[in-house]
Amino acid sequence: MKLTLSVIKADIGSIGGHIAPSHALTAAVESFVRTNAANLLVDFAISHTGDDIAILMTHRRGEGDAQVHKLAWDAFQAGTALARQQGLYGAGQDLLRDSFSGNVKGMGPAVAEMEVEERPAEPFLSFAADKTDPGAYNLPLYLAFADPMNTPGLMLAPKIAKGFRWVVMDVEHTGGDRVIELVTPEELYDLAALLRDAERFVVESVWSRATGEQAAVVSTSRLHNIAGKYTGKDDPVMLVRTQMNFPATGEILAPYQIGHYVAGGMRGSHNQPLMPVPLNSGTSYFDGPPCVSCAAYSMRGGKLTGPVDAFAHPFWQSVRLRVAEKAVEMRRQGFFGPAMLPMGELEYTGIVEKLAALEKRFVLRPD
């Protein structure tokens, strides 16, 4: 039976700066979806990661369905009204358009969707990250789907050993979707060459070569490109199906122990490590560190069982301590060198104006 998983996420307001939405705000979004879900959704779940609220929906209407997208948009609009009443910071921050025009893609919210032929058991993971951009998932996906050092399934399971097909998007290109397809293991080094530049080349989806089934989908929109100016970090979502012809859940989760440095944290302008956190965690240290949550579900006929909070397990406590140390180490060098993002990625125009003004004062010293 064909089913669609849609996760749509937005920052519509947050307590005390960019920390976390209020309970009343997540409750308002939940109640709006519940009231309007009839005849549209099979099931849904709401959670927040940092200051972003994610609506996970299952339905039979396919990807990019106008009514499903409108439901999420309207829920975020309804929430924004409450966020204003509560005086929350950045009320409606990610709703970049005044009116809904058929699809929330390009309107501010992050969207990841896949239509799947539901398996008899359908385990999948719903990731949401805050204070970072979609390239944050490049490394964990590469390790999970292409590196046998991380994923023994690539050696042990014949169907997984057939490898994966990758769709990678050039997110710098603003005049339409510019994508490339690569297969691993044959084109592993080509894939690596692209994915190392995580601010430009972003994994959009991963597909099984053995069966053609879709394994993963990432939201690839960049607010920077939509709004033409800084309006907050992109804070990407991702859906990953696991087990059987895909890597095991443990293989998908394992790379997050690295706490790799990603773009994000503090005014969207710094390199900071990605911390795996429990669902419904806020942010703190320098508006970060950038964080990622993972809700694990099983599904039957579109009905969700779960979530199990994948990063709430005790294992991740020591990871978080180490990631916190990495965050402090990088921040100790303030704005110098790799602590801050390169010029083109800086999310504030103030520094560009400052440098333009200083440019006029440079003189060429005579020989």
DSSP codes joined into one string, 212-235: --EEEEE----HHHHHSS--S---
Binding window for ligand 13P (CB under 6 A); candidates: 165-173, 178-186, 260-268, 333-341: 260-268
Minimum Å distance from CB 160 to ligand 13P?
Answer: 12
Binding window for ligand 13P (CB under 6 A); candidates: 39-47, 186-194, 232-240, 355-363: 232-240
Residue pointed to by tokens 């490109």: 225
Does residue 63 contact residue 6 with C-beta atoms inside 8 Å? yes
Using only the alpha carbons of the chain, give its radius of gyration.
20
Minimum Å distance from CB 15 to ligand 13P?
Answer: 12
User: Coil, strand or helix: which one is 88?
Assistant: coil
Query: Judged by CB under 6 A, how many residues of this single chain contact ligand 13P?
Result: 17
Q: Of the two residues 51 and 204, which places its CB atom closer to ligand 13P in the complex?
A: 51
Binding-site member from 65, 113, 115, 130 for ligand 13P (CB under 6 A): 130
Using CA atoms, how far apart are residues 166 and 147, in angstroms rounded to an integer?
A: 14
| Residue 287 found at the interface with ligand 13P (CB under 6 A) | yes
Please list every residue from 14 through 33 that binds ligand 13P, using CB under 6 A. 18
Lateral strand order in the sheet of 43-49 = 43-49, 52-59, 2-10, 110-117
Binding window for ligand 13P (CB under 6 A); candidates: 22-30, 105-113, 229-237, 351-359: 229-237
11 flagged as catalytic: yes
| Residue 131 found at the interface with ligand 13P (CB under 6 A) | yes
Residue ranges with strand state E in 301-359: 303-309
Q: Of the two residues 11 and 309, which places its CB atom closer to ligand 13P in the complex?
A: 11
Number of Cβ within 10 Å of residue 98's Cβ equals 7
| Residue 110 found at the interface with ligand 13P (CB under 6 A) | no
233 flagged as catalytic: yes
Using CA atoms, how far apart are residues 218 and 237, in angstroms rounded to an integer?
A: 6
| Residue 250 found at the interface with ligand 13P (CB under 6 A) | yes
Catalytic residue among 43, 147, 170, 230: 230
- DSSP letter at 274 equals P
Nearest to 136 by CA among 49, 73, 244, 76: 49
Using CA atoms, how far apart are residues 197 and 46, in angstroms rounded to an integer?
A: 32
DSSP codes joined into one string, 104-137: -TTSSSEEEEEEEE--SS--EEEEEEESS-GGGG
Q: Which amino acid is at 195?
A: L
Which option in Mg ion, ligand 13P, none does residue 250 bind, with CB closer than 5 to 8 A by kind?
Answer: ligand 13P
Catalytic residue among 11, 65, 130, 287: 11
Contacts with Mg ion by CB under 5 A lie at 11, 18, 50-52, 90, 130, 235
| Residue 268 found at the interface with ligand 13P (CB under 6 A) | yes
| Residue 9 found at the interface with ligand 13P (CB under 6 A) | no
User: Coil, strand or helix: which one is 169?
Assistant: strand
Using CA atoms, how far apart are residues 126 and 6, in angstroms rounded to an integer?
A: 10
| Residue 133 found at the interface with ligand 13P (CB under 6 A) | no
Binding window for ligand 13P (CB under 6 A); candidates: 78-86, 166-174, 228-236, 304-312: 228-236
Binding site for ligand 13P (CB under 6 A): 11, 18, 50-51, 90, 93, 130-131, 232-233, 235, 248, 250, 266-268, 287
Instruction: Give the active site residues.
Output: 11, 230, 233
